[in-house]
Amino acid sequence: MARLQQRRAQFIIVVALLYSLFILNRLVKPKRLATTQLLLPELGRHTKFQLPPYLQSVEDAGIDPAESIALFDKNSDAEQGSRPSQKAKKAGKLVSKSPLSSRYPEDKYTDFLWRCRTGEPRAAEVFDTFLSLKYKIFEVRVESERYPMTYNPSIIALPPSSHYPFLIVARVRGGGFFQESVICEGKYIDEPFVNAYGFEVMNRLIGCATNPRVLTVPQTPARDCTGIDYMSDVPGYHDPRIFWSNTGAPLMMFNQQSRYGCFGLWLIDLRSVYPSLRYRVTRGLLNQYPTVMELTRIEGRNPIEKNYLMFYDADTGAGYVQYELRHGSRHFSRLIGNGLTTSNMTSPLEATCIGEDAIWHQATNAIKIVMCDYGQCEPEPENTVYLTFLHKKEIPETFKVQYKRYVAVWKATAPFEMIGFGSKHIRFDNEDEWEQKFNVEGRFLYTVTVAWETNMNRYEGYLNENVVISMGVGDHGNAAVVMPVRDLFTCMSSCRGQP
């Protein structure tokens, strides 16, 4: 009997020991937060958020968009007397009501886009495969003792109340994965320079007028970097792009660890991280992005997202994010607050205007242009367009990446149909020299941003006004071109077929 009790006691001790080991193990082992435990805004809720009329009507009619294009053509026959079918009638109504209803800039505003002749505009020289614009690339100097090398500059014009005309943000080139970007205010600097013939000439550049200093933004956690785990810990944001919003807010879009994937695009109002801007922008202007806010993408999100751009409806002022634009596909959504977006709002009737199926990267911003010289017309949706640069990425046999820049233009009101796309890529006058000078690792000048050269306290600009096109030289230099925006509209193909 005593023996049995002893056995039982032993058994209890063993069980208690095992149990306490189990508890200890749970306590000591670091607990990993399952990714699904992160609270994320519910995206599905927004997928059907107020479809625009051009998408609604397609759904209502219950017909395939491709079919409706065909029917639209048939419908014109119908007008010439043949008996329209019930379906064609429906489609006819549909087409006239919506997809083509965004006001087209009248031909008189866009006729000059399709010209493709050397000397027209004066600055253009047309070659077989590219268009050379006779504007010089010059240096953008962002450096300090601590940061001797920076690249991929993004430049905007500061409001008239500023000491210096420009604001510049550039990436610091350093060792390892660590990412840093600096900010400074810039101005034109004319520097004496002895040319190849021994003459002293003036060299114009844009340089920092204030000491470049590190621009920090709050860090964010990655949701899931499976397969590229090291990236979830890379400190610092990258690819900063600065631009003005339509209401005059200084915004910065950048790439950082994503709450929806591994890397994503985030926005912040620069007034939050560069406070002296507060006193220079419209007084009392709401700060919609007081801290970092991630831009969502409902369809087709990749673990690593890049190169979004923002633009605004010229009628309603609503903001849009364009995620991609390439051969046969376009994707943009409307911003509904706090960085959240609707689902794809691209019209299914959008004609593909980019002929070549290649790797296309869009520059991060787009500018709004009124298609006349300043003072010659009143800005209206009918004469206003958006322009951005698109890069075709090529990796030729030399394994040196090349980016060829093209111009893309679309309407300023929903559904923002494409109007034209460059039929040739654009090179600047002395681009060869720049490529040779930096021909170390890569051979490319990447267009980072395009912005108006002077800040007139307005979002849109006019054909006769200058833009600053900022460019990264490989991964180790900064450059820019300043030119009238009109000359970028050269040698384009019309998205309506033959003009």
Residue ranges that bind ligand NAG, judged by CB under 6 A: 299-300, 329-331, 344, 346, 348, 350
Q: Tell which residue, 221, 255, 217, has the closest CA to residue 39.
A: 221
- How far apart CA 210 and CA 144 sit, in angstroms, is 10
CB of 251 to ligand NAG, least distance (A): 24
CA distance 227 to 222: 13
Min separation Cβ 346 and ligand NAG, Å: 4
Minimal distance in Å, beta carbon 66 to ligand NAG?
10
Taking the least distance from each CB to ligand NAG, the nearer of 46 and 330 is: 330
List the helix and strand counts (H, then E) for the chain: 7, 27
Rounded Cα gap, residues 373 and 465, in angstroms: 8
Please say which residue, 294 or 350, places its beta carbon nearer to ligand NAG: 350
Q: Which is nearer to ligand NAG, 303 or 379 (CB)?
A: 303
For 112, the token pair is 């000059």
For residues 347 and 402, which CB has a smaller minimum distance to ligand NAG in the complex?
347
Q: Given the complex with ligand NAG, which of 300 and 317 has the nearer CB atom?
A: 300
Nearer to ligand NAG, 300 or 355 (CB): 300
Residue closer to ligand NAG by CB (options 346, 402) is 346
Of 361, 366, 270, 243, the closest CA to residue 311 belongs to 366
Dist CA 365 CA 459 (whole Å) = 13
Q: How far is the CB of 245 from ligand NAG (least distance, A)?
A: 24
Q: Is the dihedral of CA 278, 279, 280, 283 positive or negative?
A: positive
Shortest distance in whole angstroms from residue 329 CB to ligand NAG? 4
Q: How far is the CB of 46 from ligand NAG (least distance, A)?
A: 14
Q: How far apart are CA 297 and CA 46, in angstroms?
A: 11
| Closest separation in Å from C-beta 354 to ligand NAG | 11
Q: Which residue is nearest to ligand NAG (CB)?
A: 300
CB of 331 to ligand NAG, least distance (A): 4
In the three-class reduction of DSSP (H, G, I as helix; E, B as strand; rest coil), residue 12 is classed as helix
Comparing CB distances to ligand NAG, the nearer of 203 and 329 is: 329
Distance from C-alpha of 370 to C-alpha of 300, rounded to nearest angstrom:
33
Residue-wise burial string across 452-479, b where 16 or more C-beta atoms lie within 10 A, e elsewhere: bbebeeebbbbbebbbbbbbbbbbebbb
How far is residue 166's CA from residue 140's CA, in Å, rounded to a whole number? Answer: 11
Cis peptide before 65 (omega within 30 of 0): no
